[in-house]
């Protein structure tokens, strides 16, 4: 019995050391990023627009069993909210609620102050035009060129002529640091994983959305490419004031890009606050979560 207690105690001490190590590394990264991010930050005299763009109010959703219970948080204009948590905690489900692909059994999902839960299918399509979605695997059409992939939402949802569509596609590819003349005629299979993700971001922002939603945007990427995608998400916030929701398991990227972090645990929001507040927290679950990453 004593040996078992000793083993548990030692395991706990290792977990705490791991958490302390991760939090220290995150603080170092945040400090290093301050000088980089300062160049893109709004002027100190510019008032922050605190208007809620996305708001979940006491949301409850269940299939066979409850998935989300009493989930509430707000994303203001220009914020990047990152949703983290263990697998199966409802992170991607939260994005589907914002897209109005799912409807909660209780609670409200508001976009720009309007509750979207009672909307008809056609009305919901109108709300989605304000959003761009970047899927986990980029979800590009394999048989279409890069140009056709990025042009697809423009052809489906706008009245732009072909010249205007090409101009918009070129603009978005350049924004994600891709050379339009080089990549527009290539197929997705001819691109690297990081390039496919960037094309996915270009397609997501083709309609100039007010909201960008990302489901594991850095999944399966090497550290350098992960940094590139993270910087692109930050660029959208800093230069275009887009409100973003990012589901991710990559805690280092999360701490770099997030305005605030929402931690889902046991069907509820365990924590909602800034990366600095999360790193400094003494909450047992947060310490264990950081120590495991």
The pLDDT tens digits along the chain (293 residues) read 555 555 555 555 554 555 555 555 555 555 555 544 444 443 333 334 567 999 999 999 998 899 999 999 999 999 999 999 998 889 999 999 999 999 999 999 999 999 999 999 899 988 998 899 998 877 888 999 999 999 999 998 888 999 999 999 999 999 999 999 999 999 999 999 889 999 999 999 999 999 999 999 988 889 999 999 999 999 988 999 999 999 999 999 999 999 999 999 999 999 999 999 999 999 999 998 888 66
82: β partners: 246, 261
Among 202, 210, 215, 214, which residue's Cα sits nearest to residue 130?
210
First CA to last CA across the chain, in angstroms? 30
Quick one: 39 exposed, middle or buried, by C-beta within 10 A (0-12, 13-18, 19+)?
exposed
Q: Is the dihedral of CA 156, 158, 163, 165 positive or negative?
A: negative
DSSP structural state of residue 259: S
Structure tokens at 230: 């993270």
Among 243, 240, 183, which residue's Cα sits nearest to residue 214?
243
138 contacts 215 by C-beta, under 8 angstroms: no
pLDDT value, residue 41: 41
Q: Is the dihedral of CA 138, 144, 145, 150 positive or negative?
A: negative
Q: Structure pTM?
A: 0.81
DSSP structural state of residue 73: E
Q: Is the dihedral of CA 127, 264, 249, 251 positive or negative?
A: positive
Among 29, 1, 41, which residue's Cα sits nearest to residue 238?
41
Helices 193-204, 223-240: inter-axial angle, 10-degree rounding: 20
Structure tokens at 5: 């207690």
Residue 220's SS3 state is coil
Using CA atoms, how far apart are residues 123 and 253, in angstroms rounded to an integer?
Answer: 35
Give me the half-sphere count of Cα atoms (radius 13 Å) on the Cβ side of residue 254: 28
Please state the separation of Cα 17 from the chain's center in Å: 29
Helices 146-157, 193-204: inter-axial angle, 10-degree rounding: 20
pLDDT value, residue 1: 54
Using CA atoms, how far apart are residues 132 and 149, in angstroms rounded to an integer?
Answer: 14
Structure tokens at 241: 């004031």
The percent of the chain in helix, strand and coil, each rounded to the nearest 5, is 45, 20, 30
Among 129, 133, 122, 108, which residue's Cα sits nearest to residue 52?
108
């Amino acid at each position: 019995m004593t040996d078992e207690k000793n083993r548990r105690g030692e395991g706990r001490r290792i977990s705490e050391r791991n958490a302390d190590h991760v939090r220290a590394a995150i603080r170092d990264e945040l400090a290093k990023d301050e000088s980089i991010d300062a160049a893109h930050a709004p002027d100190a005299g510019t008032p922050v627009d605190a208007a809620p763009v996305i708001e979940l109010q006491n949301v409850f959703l269940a299939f066979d069993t409850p998935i989300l219970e009493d989930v509430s948080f707000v994303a203001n204009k220009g914020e990047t909210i990152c949703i983290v948590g263990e697998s199966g905690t409802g992170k991607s489900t939260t994005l589907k609620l914002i897209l109005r692909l799912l409807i909660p059994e209780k609670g409200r999902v508001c976009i720009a102050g309007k509750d979207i839960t009672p909307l008809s299918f056609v009305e919901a399509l109108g709300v989605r035009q304000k959003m761009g979605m970047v899927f986990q695997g980029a979800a590009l059409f394999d048989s279409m060129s890069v140009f056709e992939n990025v042009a697809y939402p423009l052809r489906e949802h706008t009245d732009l002529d072909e010249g205007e569509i090409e101009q918009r596609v070129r603009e978005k590819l350049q924004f994600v640091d891709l050379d339009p003349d080089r990549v527009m005629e290539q197929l997705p299979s001819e691109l690297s994983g990081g390039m496919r993700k960037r094309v996915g971001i270009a397609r997501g922002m083709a309609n100039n959305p007010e909201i960008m939603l990302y489901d594991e945007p850095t999944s399966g990427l090497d550290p350098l490419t992960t940094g590139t995608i993270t910087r692109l998400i930050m660029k959208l916030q800093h230069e275009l004031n887009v409100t973003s929701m990012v589901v991710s398991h990559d805690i280092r990227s999360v701490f770099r890009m997030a305005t605030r972090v929402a931690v889902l645990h046991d069907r509820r929001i365990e924590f909602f606050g800034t990366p600095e507040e999360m790193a400094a927290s003494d909450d047992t679950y947060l310490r264990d979560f950081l120590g495991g990453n």
